[in-house]
Amino acid sequence: MLKLLEKSGYEVVQEVSELQNSAGFVALKAGKLHYIKASRGNDQHFSYERNFVSRGFVSEKLLYPIEVAAEYIVYPYIDQDYLGFANSLSTGSYLKLLAKIADGLAALHDAGFLHGDIKAQNILISSGDPLICDFGTLRDLKCSNVRILNSISNHQPVDREWSAALDIYGLGVLLFQHFYGLDFIADYVFQKFVFPASRISLDGNEEAIQNLIRMSTSVASEKRCSISQFIQAVEEISANL
């Protein structure tokens, strides 16, 4: 018997007592033990994810599969989501969490990959540490041609250029959403330069946090900070708390 847990435009997540024929579904949760992504035939997102995890790239900040087969990928089941965990943290602890996420992306970029869809739903929490997941939009940064990436995220810059700057934009959106509790609205940063009232205390670091949001979410990708600059800025703010 299948129990529907979640549904979106790109996936149906269901809880099952045992692994069954998953034709027509992108993702299945088997009991409380595993998270299984299954092919839907000509599913480009599944193909990209399978190709990436098959390469054996290792980082403690990424969610790794238990098994990779032609038509499915089995991941360990992680039941703690980013939003619930992040909202329970102090400002300092949240910034440390964000720095770990950025560090995981830095490792991915150093290996020549772009995640392409950094958002709250694609980060899981295991023993207090973040795990970046969902590699269906991951691409090779070493591509010689400039391309536009069609991310499934609703939070995209105007220029979705195939570069590491796209992931940095995602980090800036996470930062904005955590402190301001709203969907990212470009007018706050790019035009009026007026932020809404913070939903939680910024502990006297409001200007520094807002500047980092601006640096990481610039309209022009070439004007965004690098991931090392992002991490450094987060660490400097944390040190002032």
DSSP-assigned letters across all residues of 50-104: HHHHTTT---TTB---SEE-SSEEEEE---EEHHHHHTTS-HHHHHHHHHHHHHH
CA pair distance 189, 184, nearest whole angstrom: 9
Domains belonging to the chain, first-starting first, are 3-77 (3.30.200), 81-239 (1.10.510.10)
Return the bridge partners of 241, or none. Answer: none
CA pair distance 124, 102, nearest whole angstrom: 14
Lowest mean pLDDT among 31-35, 107-111, 210-214: 31-35
Residue with the bigger pLDDT between 163 and 22: it is 163
Element (H, E) at 177: helix 165-180
Return the bridge partners of 28, or none. Answer: 36
Averaged over 211-239, what is the pLDDT?
92
The percentage of the chain sitting over the pLDDT mark of 90, rounded to a whole number, equals 33
Note the pLDDT tens digit of each residue in 54-94. Answer: 887 878 889 888 888 887 788 887 878 899 999 999 999 99
Averaged over 163-186, what is the pLDDT?
84
Note the pLDDT tens digit of each residue in 107-135. Answer: 999 989 989 889 998 999 999 999 999 88
DSSP 62: B
pLDDT confidence band for 206 (50 / 70 / 90)? very high
Residue with the bigger pLDDT between 106 and 137: it is 106
